[in-house]
Amino acid sequence: MTFTGAPLIGVTTSELRPASYARPVPEGDPPQAEMALGMVYMRAIERAGGLPVVLPPLPVARVALLVAHLSGVCLSGGPDIAPAGYGAPPHPELGPTAPALDAFELAIARRADAVGLPVLGICRGMQLLNIVRGGTLQQHLADVVADGGLHKGPPGTFTRHAVRLTAGSLVASLLGEQAEVHSCHHQAPDRIGDGLEVTGDAADGVVEAIELPGAAFCLGVLWHPEEDTEGGGPLFRGLVEAARAREAGSGGLRISA
């Protein structure tokens, strides 16, 4: 059966929350471990013309089959990545990590990269893209930049700052050579992964955008475009259009609106 319309975009889970985080209600089920993902990702993809679907952290052995049904992938933001995944010891300022979630999402990113699936990585997702290609992370920006507060404000808030984008790059073709972005991170790429190019940075030199030249669409940004309907929309439209073009060429699955 052939479907036409909105390409199916898989979105990774932002966070796994233990049962102790759940607030029981008299009418509900007993507390249990839960997936968490902000609805802003879903709305941004839907506005861009895609059909979003949340990717639950299944066993890594299921990743190839799961990815085979997708037209594109959005690697969402979320908690710090366990540094064992890129061969580093933990920093004292490292936040809570979820190694099982890391393993699943690294496998998703690796498989999407291997089959040429359009990918947009956001914050944590951008860091996953870098690690998959052999890169590493700076675990605490306050160690290496004069003002770590430029990138992360008080808990529960976003900062705003400018980023410079490389002329001729994918990200600049979508946003221009300068953008004002929403930011909430204390980590960033350190060594850049094989084949990736840095195509955006902040005034303090922090790497803000990476992409894979020659790929149909493989872009990672350290900021949160899902929080900016107008300014972030072009990135999601770019992902959806790349997914639509890929499926038009392969005759793959798309879902009628």
For 25-75, give the DSSP string. -TTSPPP--EEE--HHHHHHHHHTT-EEEEE----GGGHHHHHHT-SEEEE
Q: How many domains does the chain have?
A: 1
Say if 25 falls within a structural domain: no
Domain for residue 1, yes or no?
no
pLDDT of res. 146: 77
Tokens of 248: 């038009």
28 in any annotated domain:
no
Residue 37: inside a domain: yes
Query: Residue 194 class from Cβ within 10 Å (0-12 exposed, 13-18 middle, 19+ buried)?
Result: exposed
Residues of the chain with pLDDT under 70: 1-4, 15-22, 28, 31-35, 148, 250-257
Q: Which pLDDT value is given to residue 3?
A: 41
Q: Do the domain assignments include residue 189?
A: yes
Tell me what pLDDT residue 22 has: 64
Global confidence as pTM = 0.91
Domain assignment present for residue 58? The answer is yes
Please state the φ and ψ torsions of residue 153, each to the nearest 5 degrees.
-90, -160
Tell me, yes or no, whether 219 lies in a domain: yes
pLDDT value of position 16? 63
Annotated catalytic sites, by residue?
123, 224, 226
Q: Are 7 and 52 in contact (CB under 8 A)?
A: no
Domain-embedded: residue 120: yes
The domain of 58 spans 6-15+33-255
The CATH number covering residue 55 comes to 3.40.50.880
> What pLDDT, on a 0 to 100 scale, did the predictor assign at position 106?
96
**Is the torsion defined by CA of 102, 103, 105, 109 positive or negative?**
positive
